[in-house]
A and B are shown apart, each in its own frame.
Chain A
Amino acid sequence: MIEYILIVLAPVFGGVLYGFERVVRARMQNRQGPPVLQPFYDMYKLIDKNSSIVHPMHIVLAILHFITLWAVVALMILGYNFLYVIFLHLLATIFIILAGFSVRSVYSHVGSNRELLAMLAYEPIFILIATGFYMINGSYDISLIRQEDTQILSMILLFAAFLLTVPLKLKKSPFDACEAHQEIVGGVEIEYSGIYFEFLYMAKWIEYVFVYMILLLFAGNNILLGVFLAIAVFLIVNLVDNSTSRVNIVQTIKIIMGIGLTLSCLNILGLSYV
């Protein structure tokens, strides 16, 4: 029962997290920042606005993106197969990339291209993380991974690689070239307006929940460690976001692929010899 309540509330958690993050970021810059519930105010406002549609499929793809992401989080909460979850998440990303390519705006195309490149960079790492969990626990099942003791020490390199992908997934500096506000005006989301933009906005919140849920898997059944990891990563990501500037997409791929993939491969090699 509690799982189903969590699933329904997942976007709300994401929204609060997103709002909280904006406050934290503001406090780091020594200013007041918006209220914590700001994302929800944005949501109500977007519902109230007029909206224009480029073509129906464009809208359908955004809604599919949102629903698939929600399903991803739902499956993670219910404790399904981790590998399936990653592939379903891939599908959600594909939807938004298709949406970006389906309109004629050049910025939208650039955004889609970058999104595609980013996906190429982080997807192998996610799959290797799943492999790592399989080698340790003998199963891809999330419910099983959650019951085992934490193995973060033997997966420390994979964990480091995962940390590298967090800013990329959450569209944070230095790896926010996919969205790059003002530069390509949000990329894939440029042609959405009003209530349809709402779906992409909420999808962003769910992305937060997804990333932090993967993070919690590293903690296994140790809840205290999980909470500590989540808070630490939250602060580190925001600190890095505040203090670095954007690198371009090619450099992003080089860093993520070069460092992240190497680290995770090393870890997998190490695990296979133990």
Chain B
Amino acid sequence: MFDLKKYRKKSPWILHYNAGSCNGCDIEILAALSPKYDLERFGVINTGNPKQSDIFLVTGPVTYRSRERLVELYTQMPSPKVVVAVGSCTCTGGVFREMYNVEDGIDRYIPVDVYIPGCAVTPELIIDGVVQALDILENKTKELEDAKKLYKKPTEKEGVLNLRDSALKVGEDEED
């Protein structure tokens, strides 16, 4: 029986999610997929469907509005999977660090495997990062790594459900 694990490396399918970036890095990701840089030669397909992807490319510093979706997309992806943080603001918050509406990097919510710095990152760096992620993907287990739980119970006020602040802040515990 041959080892199926080594084929993980040969067909990485990408899910790209914009967690509130300025679009600079998104454009660079598209450039990396375009004919000039040809990320497809590694077997990459940009699926856009979490259930069929292996690599989660995230751009942006995670805004309050996008963090639920971020965790949801992450948990919908079947293991083994790797997460690549593309751009300075995804790694640390970058130029948006300590602003009132951002969370300073995605690793507060989901485990990150590869950090790609740069504002905006260059397509070459993205390719390097993805290739490095492939090595990690090969050795991953099939267990789901924990993402942070985000939901508070929606608050109800005069019969109107308020879902808007249902995400927990970092470090905050769920009250009862």
Total count of chain B residues near the partner, CB < 8 A:
25
- The answer to whether A35 and B43 touch across the interface, beta carbons within 8 angstroms, is yes
Question: Given contacts A41-B11, A42-B11, A193-B78, is CB(A34)–CB(B40) below 8 Å?
Answer: yes
- The answer to whether B7 and A45 touch across the interface, beta carbons within 8 angstroms, is yes
For window 27-47 of B, CB contacts with A under 8 Å fall at 35-36, 38, 40-43, 46-47
Residue of B nearest to A30 (CB): B35
For window 42-61 of A, CB contacts with B under 8 Å fall at 42, 44-45, 47-52
Majority secondary structure, B binding face: loop
- The answer to whether B43 and A41 touch across the interface, beta carbons within 8 angstroms, is yes
Shortest B47–chain A CB gap in Å is 8
Shortest B7–chain A CB gap in Å is 4
- The answer to whether A38 and B51 touch across the interface, beta carbons within 8 angstroms, is no
Shortest B122–chain A CB gap in Å is 18
- The answer to whether B41 and A48 touch across the interface, beta carbons within 8 angstroms, is no
Total count of chain A residues near the partner, CB < 8 A:
31
Let me know if B48 is at the binding interface, CB within 8 A. yes
Majority secondary structure, A binding face: loop
For window 1-20 of B, CB contacts with A under 8 Å fall at 4-5, 7-8, 10-11, 13
Residue of A nearest to B49 (CB): A185
Let me know if B23 is at the binding interface, CB within 8 A. no
Shortest A252–chain B CB gap in Å is 21
- The answer to whether B41 and A33 touch across the interface, beta carbons within 8 angstroms, is yes
The 8 Å CB contact of A38, one of B11, B47, B78, is B11
Q: State in angstroms the CA–CA spacing of A156 and B4 once bound together.
A: 48
Of all A-B residue pairs in the complex, the 9 with the closest CB atoms, nearest first, are A44-B7, A193-B51, A41-B10, A50-B78, A31-B38, A48-B4, A42-B11, A41-B11, A31-B35
